[in-house]
Chain A
Amino acid sequence: MTRYAMVTDLRKCVACQACTASCNAEWEVPAGYSRTQIKKTPIQGTFPKLLAGNLVAQCAHCDDAPCIPACPSAATYRDSKGIVQVDREACIGCGYCVEACPYDARFINPTLKKVDKCDFCAPRLERGQLPACVTTCPANAKFFGDLDDRSSDVFRMVFTEGAHRRETPEVAVGPNVYYLGRAEQVEMVLANYPPRPSRLPVAGTLWKKMAKPLVIGAVAMTFLGQAAAFFHQLRNGEKEHED
């Protein structure tokens, strides 16, 4: 089994934007959009005890990814290596998953009219390369690997060095992007950008909560009505004409 994960070392990231630039170039993301984002936190404390950090946000390929059930056409799915993928040919660009993502890691690509997001550079992985952001990072703050591989960097960082997930008790969907750093730094940065509860757009909510049960009920009632008429017909025998 393979379980891909990414770790960002907050002690090293200086928000130079090299990762977002290389990501945008690699995947031809239209201007104004990005698959990775660096969210800065204001400096806290007084000199010389200062605290700061930058959150590198991207799709976390969550264990319980809320975007997967939100997709009406099953275009979003988890592949065998744990990567949450989008089949663009199956995507209709309805934006339900964009609302569903607690990390706002998805957007509708205005050129393609399909949803776009980080896929851990899956095509690069297939060629035996690391994700673009990992190879580009000048500070060497990003690490990528397999959590099922005990010799990997990410295994060590997650299971022995205690890298953190960006979770709250309310929103715990098992993200596979981790953050490493000084305890108070990680705490401060993650507290600044908590995940939001997953939601559906109004149309999706109406569909799930009203249209679906109504349609099931109406179709079932109609069917049962016709079935009753059919048994009545069987019991009373058939006659082709009344007169």
Chain B
Amino acid sequence: MKTSAIPDHAIPLSAEEAAAMEQRQIKKHHIAIMLLHWFNALVWVLELTTGLALVSSPHFRVVPLWFTDLVQGLFGPRANLLRAHLVIGFTWVIVFLSYGLFGGKTYLAKEVLQKEIALDQDDLQWLRIRVLGILGRSKEPLPPQGIYNAGQKLFALMVYVMLPIIMFTGLIMAFHWFGTAVVGWAVLIHFASVGVVVCGLIVHVYMGAVFPEEKPAFFSMVTGTVNELFAYSHHFKWWREVKLEDAVWMRQRRNADREDDPVEGVSRPDQNASQPRS
């Protein structure tokens, strides 16, 4: 009944509408994903620290000597440092493998990946305007985005490609798979792919923790929810999808049980917008 009333593009909101929407939360992340995210963040801090300190050779070192000395002082030199790097790395691989094993159908299904990491035309436009906007060179409105914006999609895409490479080359080195020559190449690939991810991580951390407009996204990694206003203004396509699902679900529920009061607790911001639209 109300599906047609949900706007197909973001329309300006009145102050009351915006205030009301800001009070309502939409669920964005499953608890398993939030735990994985912070586990992953911790692993990256520890593995980067130990990994960078392991490479103290002047040929390959990318951090100052005092840093390697400091970390070797914390973890112990040579063998203990490598051991720490390996133990944390194995834990990381095992946790991710279990997630892949038990959650793969949910999180790695083709439709999900299509939605979460495949870039469409809107995304490409978004990237252009976003980058120019941050540099203060563009005032164009951003195209509507799905559950993840194009920047997040790019980051996810890179992570999906790089993580298996980093894990696999790590295992090659840890177990001396495929012989000495391959181990020699694995060290290089391990280093280079971590370098690529670190570039992405810098942007990821800035966007998540520092950039003011994305603050609700940062807190959504703790609470699992974002407010509806944020969803509406930053992830319109996703907001619309959620609203359509809600409307369908409500209609089904009304048809099934007429005595039940269907409206309570379910947000309907589109009612005000129904007259001039569609």
Contact = CB atoms under 8 A, between A and B. Distances in A.
Interface of A: 68-75, 77, 87, 89-90, 92-96, 98, 108, 113, 200-201, 203-204, 206-208, 211-212, 214-216, 218-219, 222-223, 226, 228-230, 232-233, 236, 238-243
Given A90-B78, A90-B79, A216-B62, A240 B184 contact: no
Contacts of B188: 203-204, 206-207, 211
Contact of B83 (A89, A96, A204, A228): A89
B166 to A, nearest CB: 14
Interface stretch (B26-34, B49-57, B109-117, B266-274): B49-57
B213 A241 contact: yes
A40 B149 CA distance: 70
A75 B80 CA distance: 11
Contacts of A232: 134-136
Contacts of B191: 207, 211-212, 215
A233 B212 contact: yes
Given A73-B82, A74-B78, A219 B230 contact: no
Given A74-B56, A207-B60, A233-B212, A243 B12 contact: yes
B229 A241 contact: yes
B66 to A, nearest CB: 15
B202 A222 contact: yes
A83 B77 CA distance: 18
Contacts of A212: 59-60, 62, 191
9 contacts: A69-B58, A71-B57, A77-B78, A89-B79, A95-B180, A208-B60, A214-B195, A226-B202, A240-B215
Nearest to A89: B79
Given A215-B191, A222-B203, A241-B230, A229 B134 contact: yes
A70 B59 contact: yes
Contacts, number: 140
B57 A95 contact: no
A92 B60 contact: no
A240 B212 contact: yes
Given A93-B183, A222-B199, 19 more contacts: A68-B57, A70-B57, A74-B55, A75-B78, A77-B78, A89-B79, A92-B174, A94-B183, A95-B180, A95-B181, A207-B191, A207-B192, A212-B59, A215-B198, A222-B202, A228-B135, A240-B213, A241-B229, A241-B233
Contacts of B107: none
Interface string B62-78: 10000000000000011
A76 to B, nearest CB: 9
B38 interface: no
Given A72-B57, A226-B202, A232-B134, A242 B213 contact: yes
A211 B55 contact: no
A98 B179 CA distance: 14
B55 A229 contact: no
B97 interface: no
Nearest to A77: B78
A215 B195 contact: yes
B95 interface: no
Nearest to B61: A212
A208 B59 contact: yes
Contact of B206 (A214, A229, A243): A229
Nearest to A239: B212
Contact of A92 (B173, B213, B229): B173
Nearest to A224: B202
A218 B78 CA distance: 28
Nearest to B136: A232
B35 interface: no
B168 interface: no
Given A92-B183, A203-B184, A232-B135, A69 B82 contact: no
Contacts of A95: 180-181, 183-184
Contact of A229 (B83, B135, B192, B195): B135
Contact of A219 (B54, B135, B176, B202): B202
B211 interface: yes
B187 interface: yes
B118 interface: no
B185 interface: yes
B177 to A, nearest CB: 10
